[in-house]
Amino acid sequence: MFITIGMAMITWNVITMPVIEVPQISLEEQRKYAGRHAAIVEGRIVSSGDTAREAFQKAKELFPEKKTDEIGLLYIPREEMMIL
């Protein structure tokens, strides 16, 4: 993207990121996965772990055909960490 202001030309590099929809997580799932990292495939939680890496690796084992960018990661905070 180029913008000209007076005699100066300003250049910006525009990076586009894929849009990932965050699934609706039920209260039951929030309680089940509280304090854990969850891996999401096709809008549902498919694995969890103490770290994002662990959750991702479990999901990749379950869905080896999925590309890296098709597996979402989400940290689900403990109830006491939530600010309402």
**pLDDT of 58 above 60:** yes
Which range (25-29, 36-40, 49-53) has the least confidence? 25-29
pLDDT at 74: 93
Better pLDDT: 39 or 80: 39
pLDDT-above-70 percentage for the chain? 68
Please report which helix (H) or strand (E) contains residue 74, including its range: strand 72-76
Name the 3-class secondary structure at 30.
Answer: helix
